[in-house]
Structure 1
């Protein structure tokens, strides 16, 4: 994703709230291994563009919100939730690196190998650490919301929204794995999965929390939610396009990883309906695709019309998102967000 709107660039309050969370958590540490786990989780939360807190904070201010200390805590909770899901996602995908450095799995697996354990046992140790670190981040996100200092009725509503996001994200994550396993999904099924897996917690939840904390009317919140749903799907579609056609230096994502993992993206779902699928499918199921294979698949996806279809879908959904909030006072800010998301090439 390109640079977010300029109103959202100050992440210092969220960073300070996160620092406070991790400092406070040290009072529970019971040994060297626990301390390393907490440090690895803190490292996992560092870096990235703070997309979700910035989206939340910019819309909260646009809605007239002024509880800056409370907003910083909510922003920190959103980042902890994102960290938890990312750490768990790395386990699901078998990844050991994120943002160009070892992730929690990679860090603890390397430690086990240095102590003389074989690769299988070292990986198990690393994945165990990542599951536990993600669990701590999930619990932390809920705790930070509960203690953010907002009125009790607002806290209850925000916790309910977080609960919904967790349920739908879990459903989307498991569906993603199943679709890749079965390899028979159509485009609507993939879009539904991407809504649940990404759009709900990355876009709907930040805007819903902003609306609740700012005291927006139900109709206002509903319009923001529709905007967020559509834009979140576009965000994931752009990620799928970047994963196949983007410049690795700009996206931070391997151009062969989705192919090796057999990811069921809208590109592949559309290609499945074309004669080109017979040539694409073997690359998707082999699990051993290299750069030459990726180049061949890219050409086939362009020739069969999959790339043009998916890019057109992203453009169509972006237009619908803008229409959903065109009547709102904060429409100009939301339009900036839509522009940033639709440019793709992001690492968040």
Structure 2
């Protein structure tokens, strides 16, 4: 990516932050007429949306800028919509997973639970307050996402298309979240079941929709929009499989991600789904999902998963989806294709 384009994307991301700052400032002002609890809700929600990598807005701005878009303020509103969508889904996901913290600090639910317990409210009631606040906060962020798309000032067919892409991202994410809940109980899912869930839950709103939104906003040809959707789907699935792999075998100091949490939770990943079909499962199942796993038991699980061929299956799937993603770039202009190809190279490097 040349210096001019790098600067353009950087300027666009700065505008995304401005857009989000303006949105939260206006929302905080509106909240004052509804009392302190509502003001507190917006403060915590703003904290939940800050400090991230702005990955999804970056995908919007990258596609938009490299496809000839020049109205950065319009693009910033659309990109900010995907950041708010991400915030909403993360807040709701924490409720579903019964998590009270994220990255070592209280999340939205945890903040409201802790405030209640500090005030002397019994824990069950405080936890109900926390989860209720998180559901409400996630709903507010979710509804605001479409408002930001409309605030871009784009009208006509492009406006309708952008709203349709966002709506499909929300719809797919809900389907993926529901599948994730169901796959955690009952019969062990297949590897393909896991991949379908991960595509719907994460790949659509993280890669497919932001890239396609940037292309539509730039008025790119339909074959380019379609190709970016395919690239986003395949690279998004690959990213999720990498996360599953690093969630068991990764170096925590490098990834910043626990390599024991998935095993202690008994999370049904592609690794577990494959291992369940092999002779090694009888040595894995008794330990998987135990909260008090020792270091020796964790090492045993990693050894058995590896012996089952789960690691190789995951790596083969990653390579397959990366290959499909790269193939889709044949229909994408060279500069954008080159930048997106860098993403696939970074992905492969993570599992070497």
* TM-score where L is the length of structure 1: 0.93
Distance 1:110 1:250, change over 3 A: farther
Report if aligned partners of 1:109, 1:125 keep a CA contact under 8 Å in 2.
yes
Tell me the CA shift for residue 290 of structure 1. Answer: 4.7
Give me the whole-angstrom Cα distance separating, in 1, the residues matched to 2:348 and 2:106. 29
Confirm or deny that 1:26 pairs with 2:28. yes
Report if aligned partners of 2:266, 2:289 keep a CA contact under 8 Å in 1.
yes
For 2:103, which of 89, 99, 104 is the aligned residue?
Answer: 99
For 2:345, which of 327, 339, 343 is the aligned residue?
Answer: 339
Give me the whole-angstrom Cα distance separating, in 1, the residues matched to 2:102 and 2:222. 38
Partner in structure 2 of residue 192 of structure 1 = 196
Give me the whole-angstrom Cα distance separating, in 2, the residues matched to 1:244 and 1:19. 37
Partner in structure 2 of residue 282 of structure 1 = 286
Worse-matched range after superposition: 125-134 or 97-106: 97-106
Q: Spell out the pairing of 1:197-346 with structure 2 (5 A cutoff).
A: 197-329=201-333, 330-344=336-350
Partner in structure 2 of residue 64 of structure 1 = 68
Give me the whole-angstrom Cα distance separating, in 2, the residues matched to 1:320 and 1:147. 35
TM-superposition CA deviations, 1:43-76 (whole Å, max 9, x none): 0001121110111111111111111000111111
Confirm or deny that 1:55 pairs with 2:59. yes
Distance 1:160 1:290, change over 3 A: farther
Tell me the CA shift for residue 288 of structure 1. Answer: 4.4
Q: Which runs of 5 or more residues in structure 1 are unaligned?
A: none
Tell me the CA shift for residue 255 of structure 1. Answer: 2.0
Give me the whole-angstrom Cα distance separating, in 2, the residues matched to 1:290 and 1:51. 35
Give me the whole-angstrom Cα distance separating, in 2, the residues matched to 1:110 and 1:248. 28
TM-superposition CA deviations, 1:113-137 (whole Å, max 9, x none): 1112333222221111111110010
Report if aligned partners of 2:224, 2:331 keep a CA contact under 8 Å in 1.
no
Tell me the CA shift for residue 170 of structure 1. Answer: 0.5
Give me the whole-angstrom Cα distance separating, in 1, the residues matched to 2:182 and 2:294. 24
Report if aligned partners of 2:280, 2:308 keep a CA contact under 8 Å in 1.
yes
Report if aligned partners of 2:227, 2:331 keep a CA contact under 8 Å in 1.
no
Structure scoring higher RCO (CA < 8 A, sep ≥ 6) equals 1
For 1:14, which of 9, 13, 16 is the aligned residue?
Answer: 16
* TM-score where L is the length of structure 2: 0.92
Distance 1:120 1:226, change over 3 A: same
Confirm or deny that 1:83 pairs with 2:84. no
Q: Which runs of 5 or more residues in structure 2 are unaligned?
A: none
For 1:37, which of 34, 37, 41 is the aligned residue?
Answer: 41
Tell me the CA shift for residue 6 of structure 1. Answer: 6.0
Report if aligned partners of 1:14, 1:75 keep a CA contact under 8 Å in 2.
yes
Q: Report how many residues are paired.
A: 341
Partner in structure 1 of residue 159 of structure 2 = 155
Report if aligned partners of 2:42, 2:137 keep a CA contact under 8 Å in 1.
yes
Give me the whole-angstrom Cα distance separating, in 2, the residues matched to 1:343 and 1:129. 40
Give me the whole-angstrom Cα distance separating, in 2, the residues matched to 1:100 and 1:294. 22
Distance 1:242 1:293, change over 3 A: same
Q: What SS is found at the alignment partner of 2:288?
A: helix
Give me the whole-angstrom Cα distance separating, in 2, the residues matched to 1:190 and 1:344. 21
TM-superposition CA deviations, 1:247-282 (whole Å, max 9, x none): 223333222222233221111111111111112122
Tell me the CA shift for residue 301 of structure 1. Answer: 1.2
Worse-matched range after superposition: 14-23 or 327-336: 327-336
